[in-house]
Structure formats: structure tokens, C-alpha cells
Chains A and B, each alone.
Chain A
Amino acid sequence: MKYRVFLIQSLLTLAASLGCSDSSNAVSTDGTDSATDATDGTDGTDGADGTDGTDGTDGTDAADGTDGTDGTDGTDGAGKTVAVSDAITADTTWTTGNTYVLESHVFVEGGTLTIEPGVTVKGKAGTSLVVTTSARLEAVGTAEAPIVFTSNEPLGQRGPGDWGGVVLLGSAPLNVEGGSESIEGFPAGGDRTVYGGNDPAHDCGTLKYARIEFAGFELEKDNELNALTVGGCGTGTEIDFVQVHLGADDGVEMFGGTANLRHIVISQPDDDGLDWDLGWTGTVQFLVLQQNGLVGDNGIEADSNKNDNDATPRAAPTLWNTTWIGSNAAPGTAGKTQSAFLFRRGTAGTIKNAVVAHFTDFAIQVNDASSTDLLASGELAIQSSLWWDNGDKTDAVVAQSDVDGVDVAALVAAAGSGNELLDPQLTNALDLDAPNFLPKAGSPALQGGETPPVGFDTTATYYGAFGTDDWTAGWAAYPAD
């Protein structure tokens, strides 16, 4: 750390020459802050919703210590800002009205962490909330007062990767040697980062009516925190009505386990939307992904195990009623190669009643002998779905494989697959600021899908995540910064 000392002076000189002293900078930041707030107020669909309430707290917090106007600010006069840095080892409740600021990686090592509706949790750079295998999370918001996990940066300066994200760890099976491992992104010392085991019913807790924004801290290549990481969680876990918005790296990453996902919104991830690894066998119903045009990658990136493609349990989730929206650019012009689905490294799985539209380069890629074999045998089945404008083609499923002689497009579009090339006629699915993923009246997506089996909502016989009910209303939000 022997970088040159005289740089301090140089910096001060430079800062002065640019005409921005410390104090003037703080004031101008504040100004931007309130301006953004105002825009929010006029723009929001529900003027009085919980989002704005927490935004008000935002203002308080941003002003914290930098100026003295915070007393007059904030709609929740009773709200406190609580700094959290220590591990949680016993039952703890984060109460409505307060803002909790994560000062470091906060591990819930024992008991249940209850987060009440409307609570805002802000993460400073490089922090995260980790629920270990010996603890539970009970974070249940409401459509009117969702729980918001967001960046600690001021409004207008927030961006993907501002903080780490939410990590849920459980003892359900993984397909790694020995059955357990240490989750990426954390030091491995001690037991708190270890997950995986023999309890497929493990209950990591409940995460319901919650948004996770601007998360996903990147440590280095192949070692990042995703906005929502679910490792080895079992069927006792409930993840329902959850949005991950502008997350660095992947939106939601499932490492093994059997946890189920319901009512999920993944908006503008930096990398893949839904990523699974190490033998996940859960179910999904009602999930929408809207890809980020600049650096967004695949809608799904699915592996069973990259080291041993045939490791057991093999990844084989079942996904009903999902909507996948790409960024609608011409092929080869997006920041990354964009494909709705990338299945590889031995994953199986079933996808039914999906809407797949506007992916820049490919509709689907299936790589590695193990996964292409599963596609041929039907253990990897993508059926009864609508495909539209992927790889800039409305008359074909644009597909690719790195295995010679495998025609993925032919396998996907085979007779009896129920896959059709039809425009789903979504209302405003490509809009990044105020999307509407519902099919327009008369859309072919509204009917004609298969009937989901028991265990799923059997009334959802339509294609995609939405029929006529907008389940994102009220609690989901799409702030740009």
C-alpha cells in the first residue's frame, strides 16, 4: 500500500480545478435525489404505495450526516435507520417502518429472521444477507407493502452490483462429490457458508412479496453473488411474489435443492435470468424474465454439473407458465450472445406453456452430449410453447448445439411437441421502464396451452406467466437507477 503520497495533493488540486469541492458535490447530489423522488411520485401507478414510502426513507438516509435537513424529510416520521453488521444467532424481527442498513455480510446463523411488510433493507457495497442452513428467513410483505432489498446508494446513482444480494442456504441434496460445498462469494472458514445435505424437505423460510434491487456484487470472474442465490433449499421453502431487478450477474441462481418458485419477476439482469446448477429439481409456475439489452445473456442458463455431466441427482426442474422476453436487437449486435434457453452439462427438465419472444441471437441452445441425448429422449422437454421473433426469425426456431449432428430446432419443433410459431401479442413487454407482460385481448397466448398437473395452478391453461390477471401489480417496480 505504498502508493505515492503526493497524490493526495494532486487530487485536491485536480478537484479544485474541476470546480467541485466536497460540500458543493454533496449538495448537488442531494438535489438530484429529491428531483428523482418527485419524478417517482408523478410516474408511479399507485401514488401512495409502499415503494414511495421507502423512497422517502431513502431521502432520510442519503442525507444522513451530510446535511441537516433530514428532520423535515421522510414520510415515515417514526422510521429509524438501523445499522446491521453482526451475525444474527437468535429470533430477530425487523419491524415495519424501519430501514435496515447492511454494513457487512450479515449471516443469520440461528433462529428466524422475521422481516415485516414494508421494511426496506439497504446493502452497502460488498454486503449481503445470508440465511445459513441452521436458520430461517420469514420475510413476508404484502402487495401493498412489499419488502424491498435495495442499494444504499442515493436515488439516481444506484446500479447493478451496488451490494451483494440475498442468499438462502439449505440442506437439500446437491450433486457434488460428498454432497455439500461452500457457496461462492464468501470465505470458506467455518460452517456458515456450507450448504447441501440429505433433507429434500428443508425449509429455508419464506420470501414473499419482496423486491431485490441493484444487487449481485462481483468479486472476480466466476465468483459473484447473484441477486437471489438459493443453495440447497428444500420443498419446505416458499419463494413467491419475488422480483429481482437490475441484478449484476444472474437474476436468480438455484444451486441444487428442491425449492419451488412461484410468481417471479426477473427484470434486466446483467447476465442470465434464471440460472441453475448442481442438480436442482424444483418446480416453477408464473415467472417472467425481461432481458437487459446491453449486457444480458440467456433467459435460462441450465447446468446439471459442469464437472460430471451425469452426476446425480440430475438437474430436472419443471417450469409451467413462464414468459421470456429478449431485447429485440438484430442478431450479433447485443453486448452478449443472447439466447432464451441454454441447456447444457447434463441438465434435464420440462418447460411447458412458455412464451419465448424477441431473443437477439437464438431461441434455444443445447450443448454437450449428455443434454442433447436427454433432449432426444424427452427427459429434456420444451413443449406446448409459443415462439416468436427469436434470432430475428418469425418462421423458425433458431437453435444451435455444440454437438455435431444434433438438430435442436428439429427436436424442439417436432410434430406433437405442441410448440408453435405465433406472435403472443403482449401489451408492452419490451418497455424497460413500465413494462406490461399481459397478452392483449385476442392474443393466441390466452388459451390453448396444456393443463398443468396437480401441484401447480391447474387453471393456468394459457401460454406464459400471465392470463388476464396482472399479479405484478402493486409490489413490482422498475426503477432505472
Chain B
Amino acid sequence: MFVTLSLALAIAAELQAAPPETGGQDDVGIVGSVVDRDSGEPIVGATVKVVSGSGAKGTSAVTTSGGRFVLRVPPGKYALVAMADWHRPVRVKGIRVQDDRRTSVRVALPTDEEATDVVYIEARADKRKETVLLETRKRAGAVSDAVGAQEMSRSADSSAGEALKRVVSLTLLDGKFVTIRGLGGRYTTTLLNGVALPSPDPDDGAVPLDLFPAALLSNLTVTKTFSPELPGTFAGGAVQIETSTYPDVFEAKLKLGMGFDTASAFRTMPSYDGGALDALGFDDGKRALPTGLPSDQPVSPSTSGVTDRYLERIGEAFPNTWAARDSTAWPNLSFGATVGDTITFGGADGGDNGKLGYLTSVTLSHQDRLRDAVVRKVKLDGGDVVLREETDVLTGTESAALGALVSLGYQPSRAHDLGLFFLYTHQGDKSAQLASGYSESDASDATSTRLQFITRELVFGQLRGSHRVENAGGLQLGWNANVSLAAREEPDTRDTAALILDDGRSRFDAGPGSGERFFSRVDDLGTSGALTFGVPLAGVRIDGGASAQASFKTYGARRFRYDLVGKNPSVLFLPIEEMLGPEHIGPDFELLERTNASDGYDATAWTAAGHLGFDVTASAPVRVLAGVRFEAAGQVLDPGTPYAVNRDDPASVDRLDLDWLPSAALVWSIHDSMNLRAAYGWTLARPQTREIAPILYYDFVRRRSVSGNPELALTRIHNADLRWEWFWSKDSLVSASLFFKHFEAPIERVIVSAANGNVSFDNAPSAWVVGGELEARTHFGFLSKALEPLRLTTNVTLLASEVTVSGERVSLQTSKTRPLQGQSPYVVNVGLGWEQPSAGFEIGLYYNVTGPRIAEVGFDGLPDVYEAAFHRLDLTASQALPAGFKLKLAASNLAYQSTRFEADGIAVYEVEPGISVSLSLEWSSEPK
């Protein structure tokens, strides 16, 4: 990973100005192409510069697709230099340009055999491209896998989360939380442009990757071995999201898409009357708390000023909407636009080396989704697992997402690069959920309705720079400063429940969880900064740096319930909006605050780290990397809310950890295109702040009670990796890996109450994970020229893990020894594509399967719940059209699989997502 520093500067362009072949006066000059001397393949993004010649010295061009370039120069005699990543520069002399014709030049660049690091050159690698990412992997010190924008656009993936499925050993939980080698949550780190991201979840630190539209991304790299510059909370791996950056030449793109899924399109779905801006994903204020609510005290009779009259007024001030309304699910729509360019000017060093680049990108999407799920509960009867109750859950969700990105780059000279980056994503989900079925605990048929609106937002701003100090031995310096805000807001979630009597009448359930309104907001403000340096010495490169990060998270929730205070139970049979209408609020129902002391907290988490690493190349062909990282991490959580109706004063938490994290790696270049790698790292996993807080809180996201455990210890992890890889052409590789991880005191979620399934956390004595990965990607051109367009990408992961959970205070878990939660025994990806650039046609078939994994641990004799394997088969096809247009078709889940969670063969959750189809039309100012 010692290439990170300089690659951080490597920003890219996918489409380059393809110069017109014919034209008037402008057509005069030098045209040509730059290719790799060994493979003969064109090099995109190489810089060709005029180094001598009257009147045109300093003129330069960047090669486009096909490695082509055009230099518009007056007639004369010129010398050129062509430069590209990982190649040695080549000088071509004696090029004559005459009045009436173009001069053609073909430059072949030799690979730079000695480059153990990225050569600092003007041409930037296009990290959206598969070939470039493979080259990066080959040269990296660490074991990594990646997927680039080129690959993302081929598949049907729309978000970062979906695209990551294509990476070896990666799986997704809930469609948004990534697990690497079966390890999710606390065991993976997500970095956006090198910076750890805050989470909009009040209880979890995991970053939901569905927040990142794929269209805004350049590439996703997953690093699977630890190196000192990575955060120490590392076990599964680190997901590094790189956002798109400015192109080398002017580029404008528009994309309009439409899609539907067979489970939703044109069907009647539940919705509700919310606000006027729901379709855009924003609340218009109708769900806000009514004015006149005590701002620092609960709405409770013991609060001064709160009288019965006041309670009636407040109770009637909330919108009296409790029932779902029918609406129609419309096809999904999406829109995207991107504009970017680079302006070249005279740089600080006198040559024409200055650059100013920009990229702005906007995406919008709207989706209606209907899901008809069956939820079942099981019990043991005579030792057999039998059905306890069954509920049909119909959910209509209207989602609107907005994403915007601005990236500015400024290179005053070749030695300095400054970047300013801004990202904003916003998603609003409005849902109405109707559940109906038999309630075993009430011994009656029952229904419930939930109306919910959730917005999630991420704002990220980054300023970064890198500098090369020529007169200090090529010292490289890099720095970044970042601000981020992750927010989640859930205004006015409304819950009602009713029992259906034998005579068919529906009676409102006047109890907890019914007639309730819930409001919550999480803000996680993060700020961080880092400074890194690299010193290339003879035979060794020293990298080091320091970073600091702090996040300030505030969570506040308020809950209210309409309590039955009248003495006439017959009102419970009225239609809900009549029952909770102005006529009955006051005499029959009273709104009271139900907020608990544990419904709010302020938390601060900070980390300060320093790292130092050595990359020894003197021992070639074996490269030795060794380093250490030191981390100091603090966690402070102060629970409480002024709106609590109970006076329990939960204890606060204050914790400090100091840790050394050593790592080492060996890379043996068996030959130019084959490596054998071995790596070891001693890493850690920290409890989330809320997991160590001694408070019982209600997890409103997952709907269960959770209590922290202040006695939780830090987990330390030994990671060992072995990988063999053979890059046998620019875009082909075979690799095989083995890994082993041993966890000391892993933190496991445990069930502590058989009566209601309350959850807490405990350290298990130990756990281990062992696995193997195989990956192959290739074109079939080596078999026959006719098969050149056929491309295969495939990977297989096999995993095994075991955790022993005995020995805790409470041992309700049925399986004392079992695989880790969320760990699949196998993950398989196969992609088969046919690509004919000459015809502008591309088609791909993708298959993905994740083996059955534990979704919920069983307790009190009940079996563990497994998420069944989902065989996902997707098809995509695209056809280039004249005038820069391109039509793309994508179809997902062609095997018509359903999502199933099973407990001993009984489906405890089952939903059919249907087949989804989307069609998009893209226009680009520079067609491929």
C-alpha cells in the first residue's frame, strides 16, 4: 500500500478528446498513438509533450482511447517525450511537420521494471479502468481487490453497496452493510477518499453503502491485509471508496433511466398522506413537532404549565393521519448529469504544466417499491420446531435519492497537487406498512400499521494536497483535512395496533406500541486531518504519518402515546382517525410523553494515530514491508435527555485505549507478472460506544431492547495471509489466497432474556476464521482472435469460522459453538461478457451467490436463523448509438429468487423481490 500516497493524486479521465481525423487548417500537426512496448496495447492517459521545436515547445496532449493523441503545431521540426504510469519515458526526435499534412508517430513505451513505486509523472492512471486497477494491485504492497467504474457500469449495480458484491469475498447485509470474508460491522472499515466515515445509525458504526450512487464513484478498493496507514480496527478488511475526479479533457454526460420490478410496478401499494415534498425525499415540515411543546421538559402532567386543556390542545396539534392509503407504484426514474474539464496553463515552473480541473456531478432517482413479506415465529413443541404465528407484512416504500459531487483540482506544477472535494447525498424513504395475522401472545387475529419517513444524509468536504520536494531527495508529502456530517432523521413515525375479534370487529389495542408517535434524530459530525510523508531512498522507501480524527454524535428521540383515559371502552371500536380525532382527544384519549432517559445521548469518539513503515526493495526480487502503527482512542458517552419521563440517570462512559499495531509483508516477484505474497498484522476491534454504556435502550431501527455492557474488553486479532497471483496480461489474472484469523475476546451479541429476547454484548473467549479465495479474469483472445470479445471474471471464496460462546453470565444461546454471525461458507461470482467496441455493443451475464449464513442466533432451544443462499442472475446489454448516445438495458434476479430466512426449514421471513428491469439512455460529449 505504499503506492497510496502518489496514487491519491492519480485522478482520471475515461473519455478523452478524440481529435477529428479531417478538418481544415487545424488538422495540421502530429497525430499518433502511445502503446505498451511489450504487449502492444494502447496506453490511455499518457502525456505527449513537445520538448523542442520552434514555437510549440511545451505543447502537450493526453492520449485518449486507443492511445491516440493529436498535437496541433505549426510546420517545423520537433522532439517529443511520451510518458505514462509504470513506463519509462521515451523521447522521439526529428519529427517533421509539413504545411499540408499530418505526421503520424507511434511511440512504444517500455515497462519500468524497477518501478517499485508509482513513477511520479504527469499522466495519471485512470482508476476507473479495470486494467489500471489490476496494475495497481500488482504493484501494491498489500493484498487488495478492486472494482472500477468501468466494471460497475457494465453490471446492473446502482450503488456502492451493490457494486462491492463483485469483489472477492464480499457480501452485503440488508443490501447496504458490507462484510468482507464474512466479517462485518466492527470488523470492517469504510474510507471515503482515505477518510473514515461517520455513520447515520444511532446504534451502529457501520456505514450504509447504499448511500453512495455508483455514478459518483471512480473505484472501490478492498484491502485485505493490514498496513500501518490503515485504521487499526481491521479484520475483514478496509473498503476504500474513491470518488470520481476531474477528467483530463472536457467531458459532459447525461443519463436518463427508467425501470421497474415485477413485484411492484403498477400495483396498488400502501402509502400515506405525508408532506408535499415526499416525492423528493424531504419532509416539508408537516411531520415536525407542533409548536408549543415544552422544549426542555417532557409533555407530562408533572411539567409545570401542562394542564389537561394544554394536553388536549397538543394532542390535537399533530396530524391526525394514522391509516394507510392506497396508491399506485410507478416505474422508477433516474437522472444523472456530469460536467468536467481540465484547463492547462503556464505553471509555476515556467512550462505549460499548470492544471486546473473540475468535475461536477448530480444524480437523482425516485423509486416505488412494494414488498409482500411473510414473517413467522417458531417454537419447540415436543422437541420439534413448529410454527407459532404467521404475519403477512405489506410494505409500500417511496424512495427518493439525491447525490451531488464537486471536485476541483489544482496543479500549479508537476510537483504539487491540490484537491478540493465536496459530496452530498440525501435519501428519503417514506413507507407504510400493514401487518396482519395471528398473534399468539394475544391469542387473536391482529393487525398493525406503521407510517414512517426516514431521511439519511451525508455531507463530506475534503481538502487535500500532495507535494514532491525535488531538492529533498524526492520527499513526498501528503495531507488532508476533512469535515463530514452524517445525519438520520425519523420524524413522526406512527404506530397503531388492533385485535380482530371473533365477530370481525377491530378493536384498537390501548397499550404499548399502539397509538404512538416517535421522533428521532442522529447527527454525527466528524472532523479529521492527516499528514503523510514518503522518502524514496536507495533500496528502501520510508513512509510515515500522523492522523487525528474526532466525531461528535448526538442522538435524541421523543416518543408520545395517546393513552386511553376515558371510562368508555367502546371508543376503541371506532375507525382510527375518528377515535383519535378532536372529539375524542380530551375526554377519551390524552397525549403523554413516553420518552425514556436512555432515548438520548451525546457521544464523542476520537482517535490519534501515528505510523511508520519501511518498504525494502534492495533485496529484489523479494520486497519486504514492515511497519507499526500506534493508536490512542477515546470514547465518551453521556446518556440522557431532558424529555425523559423517568428520572433514572444512566451512567456515562469514558474509555481510553492505547494500542500498538505491528504488521509485516513479503512480496516475492517470481517474475515480472507473478507475485507470491505473505502478510501478517495484529489488529483490533473496539466496542461501539453504545455497547459499553450501562443503559437499556430501545433499538428503534431493529425494534428490540438492547443493553450495553461496561465490562466489554477490546478484541485483538491476529491476521495471516498468503496469496499467489499471476497477471498474465494487462487485463487478465489468476490468483489464489489463503488466510487465517484468530480473535482474542471477540465481542458477540448475546441474548440475555428468554422472555423477550433482549440483547446485550459479551466477550467470547475466542474465535477463528479460515478461508481460501480463487480469482480469475481474462479475455479469450489467446485461444482465437474470434473469441477476443469474450471476457470472464470469476471468483470463489470458501470460509469456515467458529466462535465459542459458553462461559458468559447468561448462556441462553442454543448453539454454544457455531460459525460467526453473517459468515457464509461460500461466495461465488461469475461474470461472462461479450464486448465488441467496433460495433459499440456489449452484453454481460453475471451470477452471484452467497452461502447460507446466520442472521439471528437462536436462543432457549430455538434454532439459529439462517439467511438462505440467494442465486442472483443479472443481465446487462448496451449499444452505442450515433451522436454520442448509448442505450443500456439491465435485468436483475432473472432466476426469480426469493429472500428467505429459515429456522430449521421453516421460513421465518420470506419476500419475493421479483425481477427488475431498467433501461437507460446515456449521452456523452465524447462517445467511446
In whole Å, how far is B448's beta carbon from the nearest beta carbon of chain A? 10
- A181 interface residue, CB < 8 Å from B? yes
Task: Mark out the residues of chain A between 1 and 60 whose CB falls within 8 Å of any chain B CB in the assembled complex.
Answer: 1-8, 10-12, 14-15, 18, 20-22, 25-26
| A182 lies within 8 A of B512 (CB) | no
- A285 interface residue, CB < 8 Å from B? no
Which A residues touch B910, using CB under 8 A?
none
Q: How far is the CA of A194 from the CA of B809 in the complex (A)?
A: 8
Which A residues touch B510, using CB under 8 A?
295, 335-336
Q: How far is the CA of A104 from the CA of B651 in the complex (A)?
A: 11
Binds A, one of B26-34, B200-208, B562-570: B562-570
| B809 lies within 8 A of A342 (CB) | no
| B292 lies within 8 A of A7 (CB) | yes
Question: Residue on A with the closest CB to B568?
Answer: A294
Q: How far is the CA of A253 from the CA of B756 in the complex (A)?
A: 14
Which A residues touch B696, using CB under 8 A?
185-188, 219
| B752 lies within 8 A of A182 (CB) | yes
| A307 lies within 8 A of B379 (CB) | yes
Q: How far is the CA of A25 from the CA of B649 in the complex (A)?
A: 27
Which B residues touch A278, using CB under 8 A?
754-755
Q: How far is the CA of A196 from the CA of B694 in the complex (A)?
A: 22
In whole Å, how far is B252's beta carbon from the nearest beta carbon of chain A? 39
In whole Å, how far is A177's beta carbon from the nearest beta carbon of chain B? 5
| A1 lies within 8 A of B570 (CB) | no
Which B residues touch A10, using CB under 8 A?
291-293
In whole Å, how far is A371's beta carbon from the nearest beta carbon of chain B? 11
In whole Å, how far is A116's beta carbon from the nearest beta carbon of chain B? 26
Which A residues touch B291, using CB under 8 A?
4, 6-7, 10
Set B294, B647, B861: member contacting A103, Cβ < 8 A = B647
Contact flags A211-226 to B (C-beta < 8 A → 1, else 0)? 0000001111111100
Question: Residue on A with the closest CB to B385?
Answer: A308
In whole Å, how far is B159's beta carbon from the nearest beta carbon of chain A? 28
Set A105, A223, A335, A336: member contacting B648, Cβ < 8 A = A105
Task: Mark out the residues of chain B between 407 and 443 whose CB falls within 8 Å of any chain A CB in the assembled complex.
Answer: 440-443
| B304 lies within 8 A of A190 (CB) | no
Q: How far is the CA of A190 from the CA of B572 in the complex (A)?
A: 42
Which A residues touch B292, using CB under 8 A?
7, 10-11, 14
Q: How far is the CA of A273 from the CA of B633 in the complex (A)?
A: 51
CB contact under 8 A between A337 and B647, given known A3-B295, A15-B305, A277-B755:
no
- B129 interface residue, CB < 8 Å from A? no
| A189 lies within 8 A of B564 (CB) | no
| B501 lies within 8 A of A18 (CB) | no
| B381 lies within 8 A of A187 (CB) | no
- B469 interface residue, CB < 8 Å from A? no
Task: Mark out the residues of chain B between 716 and 758 whose CB falls within 8 Å of any chain A CB in the assembled complex.
Answer: 752-756, 758
- B819 interface residue, CB < 8 Å from A? no
- A178 interface residue, CB < 8 Å from B? yes
Q: How far is the CA of A7 from the CA of B299 in the complex (A)?
A: 13
| B305 lies within 8 A of A22 (CB) | yes
Question: Residue on B with the closest CB to A402?
Answer: B443
| A221 lies within 8 A of B707 (CB) | no
Question: Residue on A with the closest CB to B555?
Answer: A1
Which A residues touch B859, using CB under 8 A?
177, 307
| A104 lies within 8 A of B647 (CB) | yes
| A126 lies within 8 A of B645 (CB) | yes
Q: How far is the CA of A11 from the CA of B556 in the complex (A)?
A: 20
| B501 lies within 8 A of A332 (CB) | yes
- B511 interface residue, CB < 8 Å from A? yes
Task: Mark out the residues of chain A between 62 and 81 whose CB falls within 8 Å of any chain B CB in the assembled complex.
Answer: none
Question: Residue on A with the closest CB to B313?
Answer: A14
| B294 lies within 8 A of A7 (CB) | yes
Set B305, B310, B760, B860: member contacting A307, Cβ < 8 A = B860
Contact flags B292-317 to A (C-beta < 8 A → 1, else 0)? 11111000011011010110010000
In whole Å, how far is B310's beta carbon from the nearest beta carbon of chain A? 6
Binds B, one of A88-96, A141-149, A362-370, A443-451: A362-370
| A223 lies within 8 A of B756 (CB) | yes
Question: Residue on A with the closest CB to B572?
Answer: A335
- B769 interface residue, CB < 8 Å from A? no
| B383 lies within 8 A of A1 (CB) | no
| A25 lies within 8 A of B812 (CB) | no
- B128 interface residue, CB < 8 Å from A? no
Which B residues touch A184, using CB under 8 A?
705, 753, 755-756, 758
- A255 interface residue, CB < 8 Å from B? yes
Question: Residue on B with the closest CB to A370?
Answer: B381
| B513 lies within 8 A of A1 (CB) | no
- B499 interface residue, CB < 8 Å from A? yes
- B641 interface residue, CB < 8 Å from A? yes
Contact flags B503-543 to A (C-beta < 8 A → 1, else 0)? 10101001111000000010100000000000000000000
Task: Mark out the residues of chain B between 593 and 628 whose CB falls within 8 Å of any chain A CB in the assembled complex.
Answer: 596-597, 600, 602
- B289 interface residue, CB < 8 Å from A? yes
Set A190, A220, A400: member contacting B698, Cβ < 8 A = A220
Which A residues touch B787, using CB under 8 A?
none
| B647 lies within 8 A of A124 (CB) | yes
Which A residues touch B754, using CB under 8 A?
174, 176-177, 181, 278, 305, 307
Contact flags B642-658 to A (C-beta < 8 A → 1, else 0)? 10111111100000000
In whole Å, how far is B337's beta carbon from the nearest beta carbon of chain A? 33
Q: How far is the CA of A288 from the CA of B800 in the complex (A)?
A: 58
Q: How far is the CA of A369 from the CA of B812 in the complex (A)?
A: 24
Q: How far is the CA of A412 from the CA of B861 in the complex (A)?
A: 32
| A2 lies within 8 A of B812 (CB) | no
Set B313, B707, B814: member contacting A177, Cβ < 8 A = B814
Set A103, A126, A307: member contacting B597, Cβ < 8 A = A126
Which A residues touch B302, using CB under 8 A?
125, 153, 157
Question: Residue on A with the closest CB to B808?
Answer: A178
Q: How far is the CA of A25 from the CA of B306 in the complex (A)?
A: 9
CB contact under 8 A between A5 and B812, given known A181-B755, A294-B567:
no
Which A residues touch B555, using CB under 8 A?
1
Q: How far is the CA of A2 from the CA of B522 in the complex (A)?
A: 9
Which B residues touch A1, using CB under 8 A?
521, 554-556, 600, 602, 641-642
| A310 lies within 8 A of B382 (CB) | yes
CB contact under 8 A between A2 and B523, given known A188-B810, A190-B694, A219-B596:
yes
Q: How far is the CA of A309 from the CA of B617 in the complex (A)?
A: 67
- A252 interface residue, CB < 8 Å from B? no
Q: How far is the CA of A293 from the CA of B568 in the complex (A)?
A: 10
Question: Residue on A with the closest CB to B811?
Answer: A178
Which B residues touch A210, using CB under 8 A?
none
In whole Å, how far is A110's beta carbon from the nearest beta carbon of chain B? 17
- A457 interface residue, CB < 8 Å from B? no
Most A Cβ at <10 Å: residue of B380, B388, B556: B380
| A310 lies within 8 A of B760 (CB) | no
In whole Å, how far is B240's beta carbon from the nearest beta carbon of chain A? 32
| A334 lies within 8 A of B758 (CB) | no
In whole Å, how far is A338's beta carbon from the nearest beta carbon of chain B? 10
Which B residues touch A400, using CB under 8 A?
443
In whole Å, how far is A37's beta carbon from the nearest beta carbon of chain B? 19
| A308 lies within 8 A of B379 (CB) | yes
Task: Mark out the residues of chain B between 810 and 826 whose CB falls within 8 Å of any chain A CB in the assembled complex.
Answer: 810-814
- A245 interface residue, CB < 8 Å from B? no
- B153 interface residue, CB < 8 Å from A? no
Task: Mark out the residues of chain A between 293 and 314 whose CB falls within 8 Å of any chain B CB in the assembled complex.
Answer: 293-295, 305-311
- A134 interface residue, CB < 8 Å from B? no
- B708 interface residue, CB < 8 Å from A? yes
- A354 interface residue, CB < 8 Å from B? no
What are 13 residue pairs bridging A and B, where the CB atoms are less than 8 Å apart in the complex?
Answer: A2-B556, A7-B294, A10-B293, A11-B295, A18-B310, A182-B809, A187-B707, A189-B707, A220-B512, A306-B379, A307-B379, A337-B443, A370-B381
Q: A182-B809, A221-B512, A295-B511 are in contact. List 16 more A-B contacts (CB 8 A).
A: A3-B558, A6-B295, A20-B307, A25-B305, A104-B647, A126-B597, A176-B812, A180-B811, A182-B707, A184-B753, A184-B756, A189-B694, A222-B756, A305-B860, A310-B381, A335-B564
Give the top 5 A-B pairs by smallest Cβ distance, nearest first.
Answer: A126-B646, A1-B556, A178-B811, A221-B513, A7-B295
